[in-house]
Structure 1
Amino acid sequence: MHRTVVELLRGNETHTRAYDSHFDDVQESQHPDVVTVCCSDSRVLQDLMWGNDEPGNIFTCGNIGNRVVQTTEAGEVVSGDVLYPLAYLDTEVALVVGHTGCGAVTAAYDDLTDGIDAPPGVRHCLDLLTPHLDSGLDSLPSDLDRPATINRLVEYNVDWQVAFLRESDEVPDSVDIVGCVYDFQDAYPGQRGEIHVVNVDGERAAETLRKQHPEIEGRIDRLWEY
């Protein structure tokens, strides 16, 4: 595992100790006082989750559904805000960070199963998610409740975004691409606010990842291996 990811996960240990109780009132809903352009759920503390308070350490991109894709006349390409540091700033690691209870994944699931009305801007975002999540629906276990279904699709979405980056000719082969899930709903073992690695460069078998990256084996977890 790249040393940068290991250091970020060590920083996350401080975050979990400081913020465990802060999630008590937002397990099922959110009532934010301000909206910021970040990934985009108000419960996801993008820099604090790593214990980071220093500018210059993390180039933060945010959108609903932690998407790495944008559409152009040429089709789907790596989003410019994700590609910029990889192409021009010598950034060596790309992290795709989903989160439990993701509203964008929930909306995409509802759209695929029942159809939903959405304004054009939201519809555009959903249309970048739904075709790729659709392929995972038939593989889901049949005995899952709704929250468990959503959280498995969160992993599936992270996997797809990692694969898109890894397969893109625009992303240098030297870049380490890691998929994670930020958990504040007690879906994974560990503390609220903990980050769980679910995918490294397209490898998603948890046991294989633990053998490949023993220095973070305690932070590698998956809800769904398909």
Structure 2
Amino acid sequence: MHQTFVDLLENNSEHADQFQSRFDDLQDSQHPSVVTICCSDSRVLQDHIWGNDEPGNIFTCGNIGNRVVQWADSGPELSGDVLYPIAHTGTETAVVVGHTGCGAVTAAYDDLTKGLSEPASISHCLELLEPHLEPALDLLPDDIDRTEAINRLVEYNVDRQVEFLETSEDIPDSVTIVGVVYDFQDVYSGRRGAVYVINVGGETSVDTLGEEHPEIEAHVERLWEY
């Protein structure tokens, strides 16, 4: 057996010792207050970025590109992974979590600009992202480099995923939808590991977000307002 997995099991033993009583009220049902849709990048620790170590608080979804969209016979649909907690566990907040230097956004950008050859399953994921990203290519400033372009597309992708949630008939109006970017590359204010709010319910203006939500104003920041 590979030592990596042996180490994981040893770590799980410590976890089990600490969590013996934490499932007492959760064994038969769950009612998480928030569903997060994160990129499955190994650098994005879905629970840890919120300081969460309690089961039952956060319903986590992960995929490359933090997508809320899946493909059905009828076309693009809201992912069942995202809809399930909202429809069945009373979850009333959804947070789309992008991150700086996203590999999925990078791959989509490269495929749109010069073409890539990827296995079919990866190409399928990129094809779910690319229609949402392609319009942004004409909006990017001419004087930015590739890295800067990709981080702006990260924001644009989060905006589009929020928009898809906002316009979905399956999401009740009572659900609060937020878009954020997790930064571990000193792209924003230089605080590694910080979450920056870029979108609330479709609103993307930094000034307006600060005025409408003063309690989170210190966490609001964007790279561009297109």
TM-score range, shorter chain: 0.7 to 0.9
**Could you list the runs of 5+ residues in structure 1 that have no partner in the other structure?**
1-37
- Matched to 2:106, the amino acid is T
SS of equivalent residue, structure 1 residue 217: helix
Alpha-carbon distance in structure 1 between the residues aligned to 2:71 and 2:116: 22
Q: How does 1:210-225 map to 2 (within 5 A)?
A: 210-225=210-225
Residue 39 of structure 1, CA deviation: 3.0
Alpha-carbon distance in structure 1 between the residues aligned to 2:114 and 2:78: 29
Matched with 1:51 is 51
8 Å Cα contact 2:39-2:99 kept in structure 1: no
Structure 1 residue runs of 4+, over 3 Å off?
Answer: none
Identical residues among aligned pairs (%): 67
Matched with 2:205 is 205
- Matched to 2:134, the amino acid is D
Matched with 1:66 is 66
Matched with 2:108 is 108
- Matched to 1:203, the amino acid is E
- Max radius of gyration: which structure? 2
- Matched to 2:133, the amino acid is L
Alpha-carbon distance in structure 1 between the residues aligned to 2:215 and 2:190: 17
Q: How does 1:1-226 map to 2 (within 5 A)?
A: 39-226=39-226
Instruction: Identify which of structures 1 and 2 has the higher relative contact order when contacts are C-alpha pairs closer than 8 Å and 6+ apart.
Output: 1
Query: TM-score w.r.t. structure 1 length?
Result: 0.83
**Could you list the runs of 5+ residues in structure 2 that have no partner in the other structure?**
1-37
The structure carrying a bigger strand percent of its residues is 2
Alpha-carbon distance in structure 2 between the residues aligned to 1:190 and 1:53: 26
Residue 146 of structure 1, CA deviation: 1.3
SS of equivalent residue, structure 2 residue 59: coil
Residue 190 of structure 1, CA deviation: 4.3
Matched with 1:3 is none
Give per-residue Cα distances to partners, 1:143-174, cap 9 Å, x unaligned. Answer: 11111111000000000000000000011110
Alpha-carbon distance in structure 2 between the residues aligned to 1:144 and 1:46: 30
8 Å Cα contact 2:40-2:62 kept in structure 1: yes
- Matched to 1:43, the amino acid is R
Give per-residue Cα distances to partners, 1:102-142, cap 9 Å, x unaligned. Answer: 00000000000000001010000000001110000000011
Alpha-carbon distance in structure 1 between the residues aligned to 2:179 and 2:169: 19
Query: TM-score w.r.t. structure 2 length?
Result: 0.83
